Chains A and B, each alone.
Chain A
Amino acid sequence: MNPGGILGAAAQTAAVGLGAPGLVGGMRQVRARMEGRAGPGVAQPYRDLRKLLGKQSITPEGTTVVFAAAPAVIAAATLVIAATIPLATTASPLDGAADLLAVVGLLLIGTVSLVLAGLDTGTPFGGMGASRETTIAALVEPTVLLAVFALSIPAGSSNLAVIVADTLRRPSDVLSPAGALAFAAIVVVIIAETGRLPVDNPATHLELTMVHEAMVLEYSGPKLAVIEWGAAMRLTVLLGLLVNLFAPWGVAGRHAGLVGVAAGLAAVAVKVAVAAAALAAGEVYLAKIRLFRVPELLAGSFLLGLLAVTASYFLASPQA
């Protein structure tokens, strides 16, 4: 544990917490411009959140503490991930406490709490969204773990700092077939986990086509604000993880000072912004696919993951 690491972890957590709505706003703006619209501006999600926080809090009849606590759990799990993973610095004091497998588990905790909240309302749409989200999460999980493996084997560890350091030392690992397959698998996973097109349409108004939205139909006011904030952070964190696992250049190391952390933060912000813009632009070309085609997509990414792991077993050079 060193001061640079603590500073970096605090800085990146704050950046994720404060910047996530802006990232979502930016992505909507990119989409709007490509669709020929003017768009509400990058700051619109902040205005939405501010307004939601000032609105009445409604407890739907018959719901339990599960419904009430889910938004905070999803936001908290994401914040803990943000403090752990190497975004601005690899020296987060939490790095030894959570490796890539734990990060995957924390993401799943967020998903599960929201699914339970959807079931807790007892409404048909809540149950429907919960069922779909669970199906997708259950099928995404294997891919995630396989991709994690494909990344961990060359580095010989599933600890994020070690993986990032390994990639910095031997950039060829990322460009290997295993790395490329893992990258493809993780991109599919991020799309599915964050409810983006073509798996889920975040802008839909039709309940029957919803996945994520259907679970949160009963939320209002401050709780809805926390959910939207949590979802935005989840997207930010996943994109941050993606860019820094495959292109970790600029991230502050163990001995970096204030300047190093600031540079790391700037680097990751730029990389995440570029990745988000690419994701948003790509969505313009896609339509939502049928729910029962999603498993095919995920099975495909599962195979990519399996190939990636097998490739890394066969192709990787034995460790030094």
Chain B
Amino acid sequence: MTATVESTVSAPRRGTGRPAAGLAPALAGTVTVGLGGAAGLLGVLGISGHGGGVRLGWLLPLAGVDFAVSATAGLFMLLVGLVAVAAGVYSIGYFRTSGASTITLAVAPVFTAAMLGVLAAGSVVTLLVCWEMMALASLVGVLSDHHRPAALDAGRWYAGMTQLGFVAILVGLVVLSASGGSGDMVLLGRHAGRLTPTARNAVFALTALGFGSKAGLVPLHVWLPRAHPEAPGPVSALMSAAMVAVGIYGLVRVDVQILGPGPRWWAVAVLGFGALSAVYGVLQASVSTDLKRLLAYSTTENMGVVAVGVGAGMLLIDYHRPGAAAVAIAAALVHTVAHAVFKALLFLSAGAAVAATGIRDLDRLGGLAVRMPATTILFAVGALGASGLPLGAGFVSEWLLLQALIHTEPGSGTLLAVVMPVAVGVVALSTGLGVAAMVKAFGVGFLARPRSPEAAEAREASPSMVAGMSFAAAACGVAAVAPVVLSAALDKVLGETPGVGLSAAPSLGVVLRLPGLAGSVSPAVLAAAVVSVTLAVVVLAGRAGARRRPAAVTAPLWTCGAGPLSERMEYTATSFAQPLQQVFDVVLRPEVDVEVSHAGGSEYLVERVRFRSRVDDTVELRLYRPILAAVSRWAGWVRRAHPGSVHLYIGYGAIGVTVVLVVAR
């Protein structure tokens, strides 16, 4: 996020510790791929209703471990499986070239397994145990380069936030399962009604907080833009594409399916925080100059959009609009899947670029299109998906979400009439700025001419990396033009969600239709039309006037007569985003300073100008810093009571006993 014109070159230093032997990356990658494949199979079983329970009583004392895959879990398992296969194949080449310790290599498979455990959990205890494993494994991934201060910092933030989230979920789920006397995920839903309204509200608040922080929703997102960029390529893909989806899974499974339908404020809260995340995330992404940080903020944005969908769905359920509710929930789910595939692709290809150059700073990248054509094309596919344009993977879900909001029949209620336009505005703003962020990432990072010697000497990613990315790209293609593959799963998931109308579940054939509601679009036909007409235009424009036309040439750039351009004259990511930064400076509060040193004391002759621009996370500055400061002040007082004097401690004891006796009397 810091754009400094003079910055020092720092070579990448991944995988400190003992580098793994030649075969180890292949082994770890294969295990990850195998887990991904198994997840896919289990997911299909779960969706088709055969995800029946397995109990391993010996695995965990007292509680035992239960697995049962519901249809909802099945859909998310498919998603994790897709990401794991792509990341697993990719990791073979990635860790071969950049080197990694055995521990770092073990992260991806263990992490994947833990995520699958969370999804497959049939009981609260299993879920919690796997949740903690998932958190720990990813923490190790974040710290895989623990000699860098930034990584340590990220690790501290991540550890703190994720443990707070875990405690919230723990308390929430324990209260919930206490109500029915059983921790079984299926039974929980039946007993949730027995909770008192206060307890229900508390459980909702706690679990939504915990799951929301995993999904990276504002204001619990602060760990995400720090942690995701620090992890090695495949691990950051798993975190940003799959793990945040696990957060969404928790939100949908526990808060919508098991606890819901709840009071109206639940829906408004989910929608509100989703909207906040979408706008804040996209704003930060659009001014970010660190490639991976940009992608991480884009994750916050997309999860915000998903939460808007979930919240809108909850609200519509509450207003007895089962049809529109089905479309909204479906939109949220499709967007989660689409986000997983395009974000995995983006993080993998960004990881390839970073591995090839050692640079994450967009201001010093550029020109990779010539040196790394495959990676560039694959990043473009992902960026197209992330920008939500037709032909991209994200279009279908954004379309569904907007349709759900359109079909909120006017005159349904004041709250709807106020909330829905705001939701539309938020989705609209996040689409527009999301395009800007992706254009910047691709256009500045991969096109144009290299802005640093490292970028000029980049080498194409290894075949296994390209293969992993291509797999993710193929998934993006399917999500873009043939969302029909998700149809069956969606029907089942909606069937598990109380209060939505199955008859209005969107049908995702060649033409997307919303039964009962007027509205259709066909991404496949659109893609075919645009591609074929483009080719036709190319051919026609090539033919017309060709008789008169002199032979084509390649010529130097037009430089306004100023001679050859140097890379310092190019537009950078900072300059590209400057207008947006200026427009939104109220929210972003950029720190800009310009230092001019004059030559020879003259006011008119300038020796050099130093421009520094820095955009910090406002939420972190305004919300967390005061809290952290307060906590450390309080801790200071507490420490003052611990001077180490035995007499004083005995005195504390005496006072304590006296107080207890007085109170007990």
A residues at B contact (CB < 8 Å): 50, 53-62, 64, 66, 69, 71-73, 75-77, 79-80, 83, 94, 96-99, 101-102, 105-106, 108-109, 112, 115-116, 119-128, 130-132, 134-135, 137-146, 149, 152-154, 156-159, 162, 207, 217-218, 221-223, 225-226, 291-292, 295, 302, 305-306, 309-310, 312-319
Contact = CB atoms under 8 A, between A and B. Distances in A.
Given A101-B399, A156-B406, A221-B549, 10 more contacts: A53-B545, A60-B557, A62-B449, A64-B369, A76-B530, A79-B533, A99-B521, A119-B439, A226-B537, A292-B579
Interface string B419-438: 01110110111011101100
A127 B570 contact: yes
12 contacts: A79-B537, A96-B511, A99-B519, A119-B443, A122-B565, A130-B439, A137-B432, A138-B436, A149-B421, A157-B406, A305-B425, A310-B417
B612 interface: no
B530 A116 contact: no
Nearest to B555: A58
B223 interface: no
A62 to B, nearest CB: 6
B425 A142 contact: yes
A211 to B, nearest CB: 11
Given A59-B555, A141-B428, A316-B411, A98 B417 contact: no
Interface in B391-441: 391, 395, 399, 402-403, 405-411, 416-418, 420-422, 424-425, 427-429, 431-433, 435-436, 439-440
A127 to B, nearest CB: 2
A202 B195 CA distance: 66
A196 to B, nearest CB: 19
A154 B409 CA distance: 9
Contact of A162 (B369, B518, B522): B518
A122 B448 contact: yes
A298 to B, nearest CB: 9
A222 B544 contact: yes
Contact of B406 (A54, A102, A153, A222): A153
A141 B420 CA distance: 17
Interface in B506-525: 511, 517-522, 525
Nearest to A307: B421
Given A80-B533, A309-B421, A119 B448 contact: yes
Contact of A76 (B511, B536, B549, B575): B536
A119 B571 CA distance: 8
A64 to B, nearest CB: 5
A287 to B, nearest CB: 20
A123 B421 CA distance: 41
Candidate in A121, A122, A159, A217 with the most chain B CB atoms within 10 angstroms: A122
Contact of A127 (B399, B416, B442, B448): B448
A36 to B, nearest CB: 33
Interface residues of B, number: 91
Given A130-B571, A313-B421, A58 B518 contact: no
A94 B522 CA distance: 9
B629 interface: no
A165 B530 CA distance: 27
By Cβ-Cβ distance, the 7 closest A-B pairs, closest first, are A127-B571, A141-B432, A53-B545, A119-B443, A157-B518, A145-B428, A122-B448
Given A109-B389, A142-B429, A152-B406, A158 B519 contact: yes
Contacts of B538: 69, 72
A106 B526 contact: yes
Contacts of B560: 125, 207
Given A108-B435, A309-B421, A102 B553 contact: no
B433 A56 contact: no
A217 B559 CA distance: 10
Contacts of A64: 369-370, 447
A40 B286 CA distance: 43
B558 A123 contact: yes
A135 B579 contact: yes
Contact of A142 (B432, B565, B571): B432
Contacts of B448: 119-122, 127
Nearest to B584: A295
A110 B370 CA distance: 23
A83 B422 CA distance: 32
Nearest to B282: A138
B555 A61 contact: yes
Nearest to B522: A97
B550 interface: yes
A59 B447 CA distance: 15
B169 to A, nearest CB: 35
A77 B435 contact: no
A119 B421 CA distance: 35
A72 B541 contact: yes
A97 B525 contact: yes
Given A77-B530, A158-B403, A97 B521 contact: yes
A69 B534 contact: yes
A98 B390 CA distance: 10
B135 to A, nearest CB: 35
Contacts of B408: 313
A139 to B, nearest CB: 7
Interface in B535-577: 535-538, 541-542, 544-545, 548-560, 565, 569-571, 575-577
Contacts of B424: 145-146, 149, 309
Contacts of B387: 112
Contacts of A102: 390, 399, 521, 526
Contact of B443 (A75, A120, A145): A120
Contact of B552 (A54, A57, A99): A57
B527 to A, nearest CB: 10
User: For B389, B449, B548, which residue has the most chain A Cβ atoms within 10 angstroms?
Assistant: B389
A15 to B, nearest CB: 16
Contacts of B474: none
A291 B511 contact: no
Given A94-B529, A162-B518, A292-B582, A61 B428 contact: no
A99 B537 CA distance: 24
Given A138-B580, A149-B406, A222 B542 contact: yes
B15 interface: no
A15 B596 CA distance: 57
A146 B529 contact: no
Given A61-B556, A76-B537, A295 B583 contact: yes
A159 B557 contact: no
B366 interface: yes
Nearest to B410: A316
Contacts of A305: 425
A153 B410 contact: yes
Nearest to A163: B518
Contact of B525 (A94, A143, A153, A295): A94
B435 A141 contact: yes
Given A105-B390, A309-B424, A313-B421, A319 B579 contact: no
A101 B403 CA distance: 9
B102 interface: no
Given A61-B555, A106-B530, A318-B409, A291 B579 contact: yes
**Which one of B286, B391, B545, B560 has the highest number of Cβ atoms from chain A below 10 Å of its Cβ?**
B545
Contact of B559 (A50, A73, A123, A309): A123
Contacts of B411: 313, 316-318
Nearest to A128: B571
Contacts of A137: 432, 435-436
A317 B545 CA distance: 56
A222 B541 contact: yes
A64 B368 CA distance: 11
Contacts of B545: 50, 53-54, 222
